[in-house]
């Protein structure tokens, strides 16, 4: 493919064939030379051929192959004349990360770490098809889909302040539960407050490096501080919403007056009836995911309080921020000097809004949005902040994690004969997991070096480093 290096962090994929805009890839030279780049680059080009796309088809340094759109892909479409695609959001709608800080220090936790990780594993259900203690009636489930995190807080799972520190306040107001299938409702009724499987995790970490002291202080972070990170999404409910609408879109796209480069790019005009139905149903799944992470945060607070015999005030487990990775949102952006309403698809990409942005709560108006980038369970995770350059270049977006370099099948093959849990324990990291294949599929070698990924987005100026977190204990689904 005709790729030109623009600077050490940016690569342009020239507009050729049916592409309506160029591609822009954020990556280092080492990443671009790495194996497995051809397929996601093809997907960047395929996305660039969709009607109504604005400026460029973007890919972040954690880019890898996904369904239709690459994971790590960002694409914005004109709200009136563009398309919306479930493949640009993904199956796990609003898969996201929630970071909480505590008043505890590493030396206060290390001696009870095994008890803590065991209790988190025991009290927060995880694994394929896991169900929790919350049994929703149909009426209550529809309230969850409409209210998101606020429903959970009103049920006693958390505090009002949690909502301020959640993207969009933990609720997309255009959710319409009448548009989701009975099958989706059935799958979601017993899974609220559960972690799930795959790359979902609970991580007890410690702040081991501060890059920007002023911003870290505004985020409530200090060196040696113990943190909690949750990574999960909309569970079986979101999967079913995506699956239902992919079937709808696959039929619908055949009636439109343009060809798609890949059947996995099935889509509809945003303003069409199927396009609007998906947009409002997707919001239900996004709200389910926010409520799910809100419930798990409160369950984790309860675990910490019990293990350390400490009250909530002394524990100080306050939410830093909750960010989503897989979503399509209606947002205003400046394009060629004019404000336009766009439908921004972020698939395996994180919002990175700058200081002063009206979507941010008062606490972060001066710093920019907290950006949470988890790594693999054996290395590090990062906290960054949003920037004006992200707003100008990437529709206020940045990367979402390390990004896979090995498929799950390849990872299992590469891990044969190894005891991944022992390798992690040798690094001082305790891990608990469900399912024999989980650790093999999620071993550190299956992912890119998260520090290199973060260096790219920091060097490109689309988010800036604030702090690094080192894992102490991990629960994997």
| Residue 435: per-residue pLDDT | 75
- Cα angle 185-190-195, degrees, rounded to a multiple of 5: 110
Q: For residues 443 and 169, which has the higher predicted lDDT (pLDDT)?
A: 169
Mean pLDDT of 254-272: 97
Say whether pLDDT at 436 is over 80: no
| Residue 404: per-residue pLDDT | 86
| Residue 23: per-residue pLDDT | 98
Say whether pLDDT at 166 is over 90: yes
| Residue 82: per-residue pLDDT | 98
CATH 3.90.1860.10 fits 3-476, yes or no: yes
Say whether pLDDT at 68 is over 90: yes
Query: Where residue 437 falls among pLDDT bands split at 50, 70, 90?
Result: confident
| Residue 415: per-residue pLDDT | 86
Q: CA 284 from chain center: how many Å?
A: 17
Query: Where residue 62 falls among pLDDT bands split at 50, 70, 90?
Result: very high
Mean pLDDT of 185-213: 96
| Residue 283: per-residue pLDDT | 98
Query: Where residue 174 falls among pLDDT bands split at 50, 70, 90?
Result: very high
Could you report how far apart the first and last alpha carbons of the chain are, in Å? 38
| Residue 406: per-residue pLDDT | 86
| Residue 384: per-residue pLDDT | 98
Residues 6+ apart with CB under 8 A from 201: 195, 229, 230, 231, 374, 377, 474, 475, 476, 477
Mean pLDDT of 88-97: 98
Neighbours of 112 (CB within 10 A): 13
Query: Where residue 204 falls among pLDDT bands split at 50, 70, 90?
Result: very high
Q: For residues 434 and 369, which has the higher predicted lDDT (pLDDT)?
A: 369
Q: Among 174-178, 264-268, 302-306, 408-412, whose mean pLDDT is lowest?
A: 408-412
Tokens of 113: 């770490």
Query: Where residue 52 falls among pLDDT bands split at 50, 70, 90?
Result: very high
Nearest CA to 80 among 351, 265, 275?
A: 275
Query: Where residue 441 falls among pLDDT bands split at 50, 70, 90?
Result: confident
| Residue 377: per-residue pLDDT | 86
Q: Among 131-135, 162-166, 281-285, whose mean pLDDT is lowest?
A: 131-135
| Residue 130: per-residue pLDDT | 86
Distance CA 410, CA 43 (A): 21
Q: For residues 289 and 411, which has the higher predicted lDDT (pLDDT)?
A: 289
Say whether pLDDT at 466 is over 80: yes
Query: Where residue 34 falls among pLDDT bands split at 50, 70, 90?
Result: confident
| Residue 36: per-residue pLDDT | 80
Q: Do 159 and 316 form a contact (C-beta atoms < 8 A)?
A: no
Mean pLDDT of 266-290: 98
Reported as a single tens digit per residue, the pLDDT across 374-407 is 998 889 999 999 999 999 999 999 999 998 888 8
Question: Exactly one of 200, 252, 400, 458 is catalytic; which is it?
Answer: 400
Reported as a single tens digit per residue, the pLDDT across 123-151 is 999 988 888 889 999 999 999 999 999 99
The mean pLDDT of the chain is 96
Residues 6+ apart with CB under 8 A from 254: none
Mean pLDDT of 183-203: 95
**307 sits in which H/E element:** helix 273-308
Strands (E), 14-132: 23-26, 57-64, 71-78, 83-84, 96-105
Nearest CA to 93 among 184, 204, 156, 163?
A: 184
DSSP string, 413-470: HHTTT--HHHHHHHTT-EEEESSTTHHHHT-GGGB--HHHHHHHHHHHTSSEEEEEEE
Mean pLDDT of 442-455: 92
Say whether pLDDT at 25 is over 90: yes
| Residue 293: per-residue pLDDT | 98
Q: Do 93 and 235 form a contact (C-beta atoms < 8 A)?
A: no
Residues 6+ apart with CB under 8 A from 350: 323, 324, 325, 371, 372, 373, 397, 398, 399, 400
Distance CA 389, CA 396 (A): 8
Nearest CA to 94 among 152, 203, 171?
A: 171
> Would residue 345 show up in a list of annotated catalytic residues for this protein?
no
Q: For residues 221 and 477, which has the higher predicted lDDT (pLDDT)?
A: 221
| Residue 55: per-residue pLDDT | 97
Q: CA 62 from chain center: how many Å?
A: 12
pTM over 0.85: yes
| Residue 458: per-residue pLDDT | 98
Domain boundaries, the chain: 3-476
Reported as a single tens digit per residue, the pLDDT across 102-124 is 999 999 999 999 999 999 999 99
């Amino acid at each position: 493919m005709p790729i030109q290096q623009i600077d050490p962090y940016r690569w342009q994929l020239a507009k050729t064939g049916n592409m309506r805009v160029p591609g822009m890839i954020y990556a280092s030279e080492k990443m671009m030379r790495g194996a497995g780049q051809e397929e996601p680059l093809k997907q960047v080009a395929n996305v660039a051929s969709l009607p109504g796309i604005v400026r460029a088809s973007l890919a972040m340094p954690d880019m890898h192959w996904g369904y239709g759109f690459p994971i790590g892909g960002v694409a914005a479409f004109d709200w009136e004349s563009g398309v919306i695609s479930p493949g640009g959001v993904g199956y796990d709608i609003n898969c996201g990360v929630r970071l909480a800080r505590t008043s505890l220090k590493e030396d206060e936790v290390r001696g009870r770490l095994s008890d803590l990780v065991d209790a988190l594993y025991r009290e927060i259900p995880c694994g394929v098809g896991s169900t929790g203690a919350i049994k929703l009636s149909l009426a209550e489930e529809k309230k969850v889909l409409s209210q998101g995190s606020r429903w959970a807080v009103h049920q006693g799972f958390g505090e009002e302040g949690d909502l301020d520190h959640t993207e969009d306040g933990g609720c997309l107001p255009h959710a319409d539960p009448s548009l989701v299938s009975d099958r989706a409702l059935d799958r979601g009724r017993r899974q609220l407050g559960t972690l799930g499987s795959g790359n979902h995790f609970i991580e007890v970490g410690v702040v081991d490096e501060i890059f920007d002291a002023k911003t870290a202080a505004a985020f409530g972070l200090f060196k040696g501080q113990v943190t909690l990170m949750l990574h999960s999404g909309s569970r079986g409910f979101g999967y079913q919403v995506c699956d239902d609408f992919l079937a709808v879109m696959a039929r619908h796209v055949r009636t439109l007056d343009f060809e798609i480069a890949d059947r996995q790019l099935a889509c509809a005009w945003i303003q069409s009836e199927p396009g609007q139905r998906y947009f409002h149903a997707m919001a239900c799944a996004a709200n389910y995911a926010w409520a799910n992470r809100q419930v798990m945060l409160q369950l984790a607070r309860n675990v910490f309080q019990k293990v350390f015999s400490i009250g909530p005030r002394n524990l100080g487990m306050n939410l830093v921020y909750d960010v989503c990775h897989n979503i399509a949102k209606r947002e205003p952006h400046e394009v060629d000097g004019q404000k336009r309403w766009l439908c921004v698809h972020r698939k395996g990409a994180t919002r990175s809004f700058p200081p002063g942005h009206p979507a941010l709560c008062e606490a972060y108006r001066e710093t920019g949005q907290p950006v949470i980038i988890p790594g693999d369970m054996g290395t590090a995770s990062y906290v960054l902040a949003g920037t004006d350059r992200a707003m100008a270049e990437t529709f206020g977006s940045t990367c979402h994690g390390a990004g896979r370099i090995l498929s799950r099948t390849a990872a299992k093959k590469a891990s044969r004969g190894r005891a991944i849990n022992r390798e992690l324990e040798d690094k001082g990291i305790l891990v608990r997991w469900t399912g024999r294949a989980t650790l093999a599929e999620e071993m550190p070698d299956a992912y890119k070096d998260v520090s290199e990924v973060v260096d790219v987005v920091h060097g490109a100026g689309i988010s800036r480093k604030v702090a690094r977190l080192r894992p102490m204990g991990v629960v994997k689904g």
